[in-house]
Homo-oligomer: A and B are copies of this chain.
Amino acid sequence: MKFLIIGDVIGRTGRNALREFLPSLIDKEEPDFIIANGENAAGGFGITKKVLDELLSMGIDVITSGNHIWDKKEIVQFIDQEERLLRPANYPPSALGRGYGIYKKNDKRIAVINLMGRVFMGIPLDCPFRTFDEIYEKIKDTVDYIVVDFHAEATSEKMAFGYYVDGKADIVFGTHSHVPTADEQILPKGTAYITDVGLTGAVHSVIGMKIDQPIQKFLTGMPVKYEVATGGYLFHAIVVEKTDEKTEIRRIKMKKE
């Protein structure tokens, strides 16, 4: 089974990058299953039904998300209808949407679980470690693969989670920082892990957004409207291949200036 996993897709520029690079990458890698984090896919903040459909039409099987999932108001109208869109499973039970799904593909049953870290996130979430345990107990006997998008700020929480589920999850990939990390690895009990896949979005940007706006915010303390940076784009992803013999994880970086 071969997974292609794409990190936070940032606005139109990120979607342009997908349109540019994804078709040939699919041809070349022939992944069985594709996941992308879409929390910033619409204008850099949240996701709309239209953008969701655009991503799914590109061959992406499941869209995960994170703290920005609620940014576009229309989300509350369609999040419960779309099984292929996930929000972190450790939102309280009364939150809209679903936190994991089981998807059939090529005769395999693949569970994708979306979780969010709590350190520095400022959101009243349930414990992601125990939420994983609960879901795992429910699904472990009925699925062939378990893939987790752990959307978090603190590297310590991300790595602790990776080790915590090592041998239970097949893949743990981090998102949220919008910067790719160079620590892709197979943990001791077999889980493929990376702290952050990195953004798919503008090259010349501060985590996908126009450069001057965050600088202004840091300099003045005044709130600044953030807009998606345009121009050349970066595409970051990982490919994880899992066979009976071994597991491999590989970073992919493509760029068009």
Contact = CB atoms under 8 A, between A and B. Distances in A.
A51 interface: no
A125 B125 CA distance: 9
Contacts of A124: 118-119, 127, 217-218, 221
Contacts of A253: 182
Contacts of A23: none
A231 to B, nearest CB: 11
A182 B251 contact: yes
Nearest to A69: B222
A127 B130 CA distance: 13
A52 interface: no
A235 to B, nearest CB: 13
Given A130-B219, A211-B163, A221-B125, A156 B94 contact: no
Specify how many copies of this chain sit in the oligomer.
4
Contacts of A34: none
Interface in A75-100: 91-92, 94-96
A160 interface: yes
26 contacts: A70-B223, A94-B219, A94-B220, A95-B220, A95-B222, A96-B222, A120-B120, A123-B221, A124-B221, A127-B219, A129-B218, A155-B177, A155-B178, A155-B179, A156-B206, A156-B209, A157-B214, A159-B205, A160-B214, A160-B215, A160-B218, A179-B181, A179-B183, A179-B196, A180-B183, A182-B251
Given A95-B222, A120-B153, A179-B181, 14 more contacts: A70-B223, A91-B221, A91-B222, A95-B220, A118-B124, A124-B221, A129-B215, A153-B154, A159-B207, A163-B206, A164-B215, A179-B183, A179-B196, A182-B182
